[in-house]
Structure formats: C-alpha cells, structure tokens
Amino acid sequence: MKKILVTGVNSYVGNSFKEWIKDYPNDYSVDKVSVRGNDWKEVDFSIYDTVLHVAGIAHVSTDESMKDLYYEVNRDLTIELAQVAKQAGVQQFIFLSSIIIYGDSKEGKVVIDKYTKPNPNNFYGQSKLEAEKGIIPLESDDFKIAIIRPPMIYGKESKGNYPKLAKAAQILPIFPDIYNERSMLHIDNLSEFIRLIIKNKDKGIFFPQNKEYVKTSELVKTIAEVHDRRIYLTKIFNPLLNIMINKSDIINKVFGNIVYDQAISRYKESYCNKDLYESIIATELEHK
C-alpha cells in the first residue's frame, strides 16, 4: 500500500486523482492537505511514500501586483514543501509544472522536443520554471523528484479554456475553421499517468499528452455533435484571425499552435485510456 499526500484540498487535478485511485483500494491511499497558511507544517510527512504537489496559482495573469504572490506560491512554497518532504524521509516528490514554461506560439507553430529550452514569457511560467530549478538539486538516491509538464488539461468540471469552447459549441451556429494544432491532456489520462509514475517510483521530467493533437475548430464541432447540435465551420474569419493571432492573447490561446513532439510523451506503460472523442463524451455527457 503506497501512501500519497496531495497538496491542495480544492485542486482539480488532486481531487480527480483521488477519485481515479479509488479503483485501486488495495494499492494506494490518498490524503489531502491544505497548504494555505502554516498548518500544513504540523503534518507528519514521514508516513507518506509520495507527495503529489499540485497546489498553486494556475491561471495566467499580467497584473504586476500579483507577481510576488505567484513566486511565493508557485516557487517558494514548492521548494519548501520538497525540503520538508525530503527531511521527513518521503521517497518521491511529484511536482505539477506546465507547458507554459515554454512560452506561447505567437511566433508561429511551436513543436517542443527534448532539445527545446524553456522560455517563459510571463511570471506564471517563470515561477513554475524557477520552482523546478529549486527542487531538482534536492534529488538523491532516497528522494526522487518527478516533474510533470502537462499541456492544457480538460475534463468534467475543469476550468480554463475548454469550458469556454464547450459553451461556444452549444450556442454558436458557426465557428472559425482555421488550421491549428495543440497538445491536450484529458484528466483521466493524466490521473493514470500520475498513478504509473508513483507505482514505478519514477523520477525525471515528463511530458504526458493525449495521443492526438487537437484542431480547435474540430474540437468545438465534436463537442456540438455530442450534444446533438450542428455547428458550421467557416473560413470567412481566417484573414482577420491570422492577423490577430500574434497580437491578441485570447485569440492565440484559442487558435495558436503549440504541441509536444509525440516522442517525448511516450512512456513505458500506456496511460491514455481515452482518445479524444471518448474524452469529450466523458466530459460532456457522463455527468448528465
């Protein structure tokens, strides 16, 4: 029985992982702890095999007044938690980083491979990258560090861009048909990947993603279809969107091109239990 401590009591990833792991009641047990304030410092970390650190500020902000808070939560707290875990004898520390450390796709299509250097263009990405750099030196034979850099995570009750696209799919009669590709990761596929990392006591930097790249217009069309709606794709807006994609953060987030090379996302065991269509069904319909 592996004992896992998840940081963040309201974390989407943490809560989803705890739900996922219920299918393995004899293999894993999961506790959650809030890391707001200092009460977490009273927790006995020594009884856990793995700390899964998913708590943090997850949204991108350009408000300079938020900058210090991003570094305090995403960087400093991560490093402190890793130090406490190591001192307590925890065997593995898993940190949820982000594809955001590579910046965005405003300069054209970005294909991230094993040679691509991180280049964050906001303090959210920079705070995540500095957290990584802060915990890697703590690694030892007895303290393994696994860093996960997921692309856009989506699933039932997720936040961010996916629910906005899902809403558009259910109300709009037309949607722009512009070619792009993005790496995405369904929450169940991520949960299974985390389970395998824990089972195998792995360390290193990981880039999990769905098996398929996603074209935004096809994603919206598929969401509409599972709701028995027909949405028409049109190229009439493409000239304007092609101009705006390098000038507007919102347009870039929706229609930008940024993917992981599939080669760096392969793992020794299969973790993608759902393909794109199955994941949309699970996201949109299973809760009804």
- Tens-digit pLDDT profile for residues 81-100: 999 999 999 999 999 999 99
For 227, counting Cβ atoms within 10 Å of its Cβ (0-12 exposed, 13-18 middle, 19+ buried), the class is middle
pLDDT score, position 288: 44
Read off the pLDDT band of 52 (50, 70, 90): very high
- Are 82 and 135 spatial neighbours (Cβ–Cβ below 8 Å)? yes
Least confident of 63-72, 116-125, 152-161, 273-282: 63-72
Task: State the Cα–Cα distance between residues 28 and 30, nearest whole angstrom.
Answer: 7
Read off the pLDDT band of 286 (50, 70, 90): low
How confident is the prediction for the chain on average, in pLDDT? Answer: 92
- Are 21 and 48 spatial neighbours (Cβ–Cβ below 8 Å)? no
Read off the pLDDT band of 62 (50, 70, 90): low
pLDDT score, position 198: 98
- Are 240 and 247 spatial neighbours (Cβ–Cβ below 8 Å)? no
C-alpha pair distances (Å), 138 with each of 85, 93, 94, 95: 10, 10, 13, 13
Of 42-46, 100-104, 237-241, give the range with the top mean pLDDT: 42-46
Does residue 58 carry a pLDDT above 80? no
Does residue 77 carry a pLDDT above 80? yes
Put simply, whether the predicted model's pTM sits higher than 0.85 gets the answer yes
Strand ranges for 187-275 from DSSP E: 204-206, 232-234, 258-260
The stretch 255-259 carries a mean pLDDT of 91
The stretch 174-182 carries a mean pLDDT of 94
Domain 2-159+184-209+264-273 falls in which CATH fold? Rossmann fold (3.40.50)
- Tens-digit pLDDT profile for residues 126-166: 999 999 999 999 999 999 999 999 999 999 989 888 999 99
Read off the pLDDT band of 61 (50, 70, 90): low
In the chain, DSSP finds a helix count (H) and a strand count (E) of 10, 12
